[in-house]
Amino acid sequence: MQWVKVLGGVVGAAALLGLGIIVGHFAIPKGADSPAPSASASQDLDLKILETVMEQLDANRIRENLRELSKEPHLATSPRDEALVQLLLQRWQDPESGLDSARTTEYEVLLSFPSGEQPNRVDVVNSTGAVLFSCRQSEENVTGEQGGPNVVPPYAAYAPPGTPQGPLVYANQGSEQDFKELQKEAVKLQDSIVLTRYGGVGRGAKAVNAAKYGVAGVLVYTDPKDINDGKSLPNETFPHSWCLPPSGVERGSYFEYFGDPLTPYLPATPSSFRLNSDNASGFPPIPIQPIGFEDARVLLCNLGGKLAPADWQGGLGCDYNLGPGFRLNGIFPEDSQVNVSVHNRLELRNSSNVLGIIRGAVEPDRYVLYGNHRDSWVHGAVDPSTGTAVLLELSRVLGTLLKKGTWRPRRSIVFASWGAEEFGLIGSTEFTEEFFSKLQERAVAYINVDISVFANATLRVQGTPPVQSVVFSAAKQISAPGSSGLSIYGNWIRYYNRSSSVYGLVPSVGTLGAGSDYAPFIHFLGISSMDIAYTYDRSKTSARIYPTYHTAFDTFDYVDKFLDPGFSSHQAVARTAGSVLLRLSDSLFLPLNVSDYSETLRSFLQAAENLRDLLEQHNISFGPLVTAVEKFEGAATSFNQRIATLREGTPDPLQVRMINDQLMLLERTFLNSQAFPEERYYNHVLWAPRTGSVATFPGLSNAYSQAENTGHEPAAWAEVQRQLSIVVAALEGAAATLRPVADL
């Protein structure tokens, strides 16, 4: 079945290419769809060009880009967001340093904003309804950048409006386990307001879990223990250090899925079919509002009830009790309640992506994509502008070489500035929906650089196994910032490493979840993807993320003074991502090592071994999975040998293209759109979310947990068998893709 799918893809691509040439005759300047006249089919990575690019990536220009990008708040679709669309277009259309072409694509998408007239409120009220205490409605204006009409007040995007009131309960991180614990302790949850802290589970999950217990409303705050290594006094926090000030509030999307909520699987063009927003799913079921730890302290330190468990305690300087309601001799009468007023509104807005293209000289119909989102919550200096500042510098350096006629890549490069990521990866997801077929047939890889610098200690990369080798090659040839004399690779391995059965000690490359715009590329489209950044020394901080994340304190000065003075970590990321981009766009053979998937498959198989006896007790044969993994390993090894042999000779351009198509399409063979019908966009059978505890193939792990939790019902075991077969079919398909093309 996978074979047919791949064969169909190749035939389809050929047909489209033919169509492209015919259409191109009328629509596109002559030559745009064919290799450049001077191009040689054997064009390969030019190390001199690579060296030039590395040298020209300038830390100070990145700093100046960041200053401009983060000068004003640029919430998705705001006037400043639109002004930045123009800035990107202008840079990419510059006659001296621009790209071949640049354009915008617009989508009409459903966003959520707080009401301008009725601010969201959190009040403590007594039994007569008199207000005893109110949480801040905005962050303290500490640097002059936290006020003004363009600073969106803290809110939970997509939380429904409502004004619930009830006794307060502390629910730790709001996980399923936390609510079970409260139930066990006989804390009344029905009609209560629960206070949760960020972390543990996703934002929206806190409200989803709470609603199951009849909770009426949810508050969420950032605990200083989780974000500031315990520091909470104003003089210990920004602008005196990188720590979050007491009034700081993390904004964020509480939408459960990604993409435009009203047009799943369809691009959100104005004429597209839209769900009625009442029928759209994935929004929090009850009102939820984020607050700062300054206000959380007043609420939490006055709670009554039993003492919360030790691992529920935090850094507010008091014992955290469970509630419900306030304690005797606290600052509020015991029967006081908390009233939460949420007045968020859903609005259809036009959001733009900006695309900048460098046409490939030899294989213009193969795309290497490089992207980041543009929209922020407030000034968004770190998130996302550290990434966009790097993107602009990289495109300037490549654009300059291009305009001078010094260089043109072998394959096409597509730079992207995505809109409305903060609301749920919306711009990138709509792009993958609109160009689904074209990207499936022609996209080689996707590089995401969102927050480029979380901290200045070491490189951090997440990606699928085939990208490991190209990232390592790049990181070995670039010096790490600072005086260590180490390469980026040598520095990286000191902080994050693992023992590989193939290579020994190597830096560890993380897996891709759904934290940024790579998600639709890897999960929906099966395009080999990666996310590149500089990050923390974990021996120095346990902060959940950089402390001012999604607050009005994420400003230029914050980056300039505390995250990366001198911008050398930015430059290191620009060089690493730039080198990876050039290697992918210019190398004769795509630098993706498919056999690095074998190690992952082996570890999944080993974890699954623990289930073998139980599976066989239920008449599910484990043998086909073992055989499929072995087939993949064998096919990958001989595939790499074929490449090595071809490299030794003078390969025919069509042979090279055939190999490169196999390399490109391998990731696609792991897709199965029927594998997880309840999970929107998750088609990749190796990287879908794993909720089961066994560290194996996610579908198998989840189905197995389900079978255990439902008391081993036959239907649950049938699903285990189905998931096992899905994995076997995908691995068989993957092996078939790597075998010589005539060998079915």
- Cβ 508 to Zn ion, closest distance in Å? 22
- Written as six digits, the tokens of 633 are 């390993």
Cα dihedral across residues 15, 17, 18, 22: positive or negative:
positive
Among the candidate windows 94-102, 275-283, 378-386, 688-696, which touches Zn ion by CB under 5 A?
A: 378-386
**Nearest to 593, CA basis, from 688, 469, 738:** 469
- Written as six digits, the tokens of 385 are 């502008």
384 binds Zn ion (CB under 5 A): yes
- Cβ 550 to Zn ion, closest distance in Å? 9
Catalytic residue list contains 393: no
Among the candidate windows 91-99, 331-339, 376-384, 454-462, which touches Zn ion by CB under 5 A?
A: 376-384
Among the candidate windows 47-55, 77-85, 189-197, 450-458, which touches Zn ion by CB under 5 A?
A: 450-458
C-alpha distance from residue 228 to each of 41, 225, 241, 243, 290 (Å): 55, 6, 10, 5, 17
**Nearest to 395, CA basis, from 560, 523, 581, 218:** 581
- Cβ 338 to Zn ion, closest distance in Å? 31
Q: Indicate the residue among 156 and 449 with the shorter CB distance to Zn ion.
A: 449
- The residue to which tokens 């194996």 are assigned: 696
Q: Indicate the residue among 287 and 371 with the shorter CB distance to Zn ion.
A: 371
517 binds Zn ion (CB under 5 A): no
81 binds Zn ion (CB under 5 A): no
- Cβ 375 to Zn ion, closest distance in Å? 9
Contact set for Zn ion, span 229-248 (CB under 5 A): none
- Cβ 152 to Zn ion, closest distance in Å? 16
450 binds Zn ion (CB under 5 A): yes
Q: Indicate the residue among 295 and 375 with the shorter CB distance to Zn ion.
A: 375
Among the candidate windows 34-42, 145-153, 382-390, 656-664, which touches Zn ion by CB under 5 A?
A: 382-390
194 within 8 A of 218, measured Cβ to Cβ: yes
Q: Indicate the residue among 260 and 383 with the shorter CB distance to Zn ion.
A: 383
Q: Indicate the residue among 450 and 661 with the shorter CB distance to Zn ion.
A: 450
427 binds Zn ion (CB under 5 A): no
Q: Indicate the residue among 384 and 481 with the shorter CB distance to Zn ion.
A: 384
Using a 10 angstrom Cβ sphere, with 0-12 exposed, 13-18 middle and 19 or more buried, the burial of residue 206 is buried
Q: Which of 139, 145, 393, 421 is catalytic?
A: 421
Among the candidate windows 47-55, 443-451, 537-545, 629-637, which touches Zn ion by CB under 5 A?
A: 443-451
Q: Which helix (H) or strand (E) holds 635?
A: helix 623-648
Distance CA 486, CA 483 (A): 8
633 binds Zn ion (CB under 5 A): no
739 within 8 A of 637, measured Cβ to Cβ: no
- Cβ 317 to Zn ion, closest distance in Å? 32
Q: Binders of Zn ion: how many residues, by CB under 5 A? A: 3
Q: Indicate the residue among 545 and 664 with the shorter CB distance to Zn ion.
A: 545
Among the candidate windows 66-74, 122-130, 448-456, 565-573, which touches Zn ion by CB under 5 A?
A: 448-456
- Cβ 202 to Zn ion, closest distance in Å? 15
Contacts 24+ apart (CB under 8 A), 35-42: 35/361, 35/362, 35/363, 35/364, 36/359, 36/361, 36/362, 36/408, 38/361, 39/361, 39/362, 39/408, 40/362, 41/362, 41/653, 41/656, 42/588, 42/650, 42/653
Distance CA 363, CA 410 (A): 6
- Cβ 286 to Zn ion, closest distance in Å? 27
383 binds Zn ion (CB under 5 A): yes
For the packed helices 2-27 and 714-738, what is the interaxial angle rounded to 10 degrees? 60
Among the candidate windows 25-33, 444-452, 562-570, 635-643, which touches Zn ion by CB under 5 A?
A: 444-452
164 within 8 A of 193, measured Cβ to Cβ: yes
- Written as six digits, the tokens of 599 are 């190690």
Q: Indicate the residue among 2 and 386 with the shorter CB distance to Zn ion.
A: 386
Q: Indicate the residue among 308 and 519 with the shorter CB distance to Zn ion.
A: 519
Distance CA 431, CA 527 (A): 14
Q: Are strands 217-221 and 288-291 parallel, antiparallel or unpaired?
A: parallel
Report, in angstroms and rounded to the nearest whole number, the Rg of the chain calculated over CA atoms. 26
- Cβ 687 to Zn ion, closest distance in Å? 20
- Cβ 450 to Zn ion, closest distance in Å? 4
Distance CA 317, CA 523 (A): 43
Q: Indicate the residue among 449 and 688 with the shorter CB distance to Zn ion.
A: 449
Residue 312 DSSP symbol: G
Cross-strand pairs, 72: none
Q: Which helix (H) or strand (E) holds 68?
A: helix 59-69
The Cα angle at residue 261 between residues 197 and 102, in degrees rounded to 5: 105
Site residues, Zn ion (CB under 5 A):
383-384, 450
Q: Give catalytic residue positions.
A: 421
